[in-house]
Amino acid sequence: MSQRILIVEDDNDILGLLKDLLEDEGYEVAALNYTESIIKSIKQHEPDLVMLDFLLAGINGGELCHEIKINPETSHLPVIMASAFPRVLDSLGNYGSDAFLVKPFDIEVVLRTVKDCLENRMIHA
C-alpha cells in the first residue's frame, strides 16, 4: 500500500508541481489549496505525512502545524513546512514541524525530506 501525503498550499502551480512530483514517486497525494479545518482534512484523507505552506490565505500554516502536533489523534504525523521566507521561521519558531523546505524547491531535497520524515515515522511508530 502506498503512503499518503496531504498537501495544503494556496499557490496552484506549486500545488500541482508537488502533487505530480510525489505521485510520480508512488505516493498517494491529496492536494488542497485551502482547508477550513486541518484536523477534519486529516481525518478525511488519512495521510501518513502533511506538507503545509507557511503563508496560507487567511491563516498561518504554522498554526495548522501546531494544531496537528497538539492533537493526540494527529500528533504522530510528520509535518513538513514550506516557505519562500525561511527567516520567518527563525523568528517565530518551527511550530513543532518535523522539517522545513525553502522555496523555490530543489526537487531532490523535497523527495529526500519526504522520505526521511516517513522513515522516521516508521521507526518511532
User: Per-residue pLDDT tens for 69-123?
Assistant: 999 999 999 999 998 877 765 666 668 899 989 899 999 999 999 999 999 877 7
The β-bridge relationship of strands 59-60 and 55-56 is antiparallel
* The pLDDT value given to residue 72: 97
Q: What is the CATH number of the domain that holds 45?
A: 3.40.50.2300
First CA to last CA distance, the chain: 17
Distances (CA, A) of 117 to 5, 99, 105: 11, 8, 17
pTM of the model: 0.93
* The pLDDT value given to residue 93: 65
How much of the chain exceeds pLDDT 70, in percent? 91
Question: Contact, 28 vs 70, CB < 8 A?
Answer: no
Provide the domain limits for residue 32: 4-124
* The pLDDT value given to residue 60: 84
Domain count, the chain: 1
Mean pLDDT value across the chain: 91
Cell numbers that stand for 22 in this block: 510525489
Cell numbers that stand for 100 in this block: 522545513
